[in-house]
Amino acid sequence: MATTGVKAAFRPDIVILDISRLTPLKEVTPAMRRDRKYSQIAASLTHVGLIEPIVVFSAGRGKYLVLDGHKRLDILKAQGVTEVRCLLATDDECYTYNKRVNYLSPIAEHHMIMKALADGIPEETIAQSLDVNVSLIRKKRNLLDGICPEAAEILKDKRVTAAAFSVLRKMKPARQIASAELMVAANKFTLAFAHALLSGTRPELRADEGRRPQRRIEAPRKAILEQETDRLLAEFKSVEDSYGSDVLTLNVCCGYLKRLFANPRVQRYLTKRYPEIQQQLQQLLAEVQAEKTRPPKMPVKSAAAPMKARRAAGA
């Protein structure tokens, strides 16, 4: 079969174009100009400059259609800029550029701020560039203080709030790792969930063991909560360790059941003698098939290398 080359979506070089030659495809309304995001883009353009070029498509006769970057272009016009860096698209489809938004995780923001500080950029300049208060920059700078590297690695691409990190900070490293893994497995990164994990943490696993918690829990209830949390974490570890082999066994069994049900004689026998068992097995096959058609989930990242190896082997 003959293969065809893949068409590039953009020209390889950045071009400098006169703003008067650019025609926006949508209007920037007064409400959009009052938006918080608009003011942050304006601050970034003022203090840092244009980082991401305007995406345009040639409309002929020296004119260009703006596919992406309407807010940036509107701000640059208001600032009196006459020329702008542009990226030339080879197609005029503009619906794909912002169709998927990858939000920056708090830990990624922390590392970016630390990199800027290491390069000698003052906190005040960073705050002005992002149009935020200096205290917020300092809070993001200190985000991982008291968080062990393994827990930070597990949560590096998750949207965990600074308040949730402050709760994890009250646990010892081993408990931080276990709690981070459970947060990823449950896909819950809220302050309330972090508080629940802290409430179920035994005193010897807390970093603030010497301090009294603000909310007092009766001793019997606290003991039950700690036992249940420990049991939940132990079960999670057990499931994580055996997940690969369990899935393999399930797939083999389901394949065998499919071949059995394809036999009319077996179908008649089960329908006549064991209708309830036949119904349950068919329901199991339907659930497994439905699970296979779902979009794949991101794997749970663990800090333990042997556990990673077992998970890879199971995959």
CA distance 129 to 141: 16
Give the separation between CA 80 and CA 8, rounded to whole angstroms: 33
Distance in angstroms (rounded) separating the CA atoms of residues 128 and 125: 5
Q: In this structure, is the dihedral angle defined by the CA atoms of residues 40, 42, 46 and 49, taken in order, positive or negative?
A: positive
pLDDT of residue 203: 85
pLDDT in tens, 92-149: 765 555 555 556 789 988 998 999 899 898 999 888 888 888 998 999 999 999 999 9
CA–CA dist 261, 267 (Å, integer): 6
Q: Is the pTM of this model over 0.85?
A: no
Write phi, then psi, for 90 (nearest 5 degrees): -95, -5
CATH code at 106-219? 1.10.10.2830
Q: How confident is the model at residue 188 (pLDDT cuts 50, 70, 90)?
A: confident
- Do the domains at 10-89 and 106-219 have one common CATH topology? no
**Residue 105 contacts residue 189 (beta carbons within 8 Å):** no
**Domain edges within the chain:** 10-89, 106-219, 237-314
pLDDT digits (tens, 9 = 90+) for 236-293: 666 556 666 777 788 888 888 888 888 888 888 888 888 888 888 888 888 888 877 7
Q: What is the pLDDT of residues 147-173, one digit of tens each?
A: 999 999 999 989 898 899 999 999 999
In this prediction, residue 244 carries a pLDDT of: 67
* Alpha carbon distance 33, 168 (integer Å): 38
Assign 120 to helix, strand or coil.
coil
Computed over every residue of the chain, the mean pLDDT equals: 80
pLDDT in tens, 65-80: 998 899 999 999 999 9
Q: 52 pLDDT band (50/70/90 cuts)?
A: confident
DSSP code of 282? H
Q: Give the CATH class of 10-89.
A: alpha beta
**Range in 16-25, 87-96, 142-151 with the lowest mean pLDDT:** 87-96
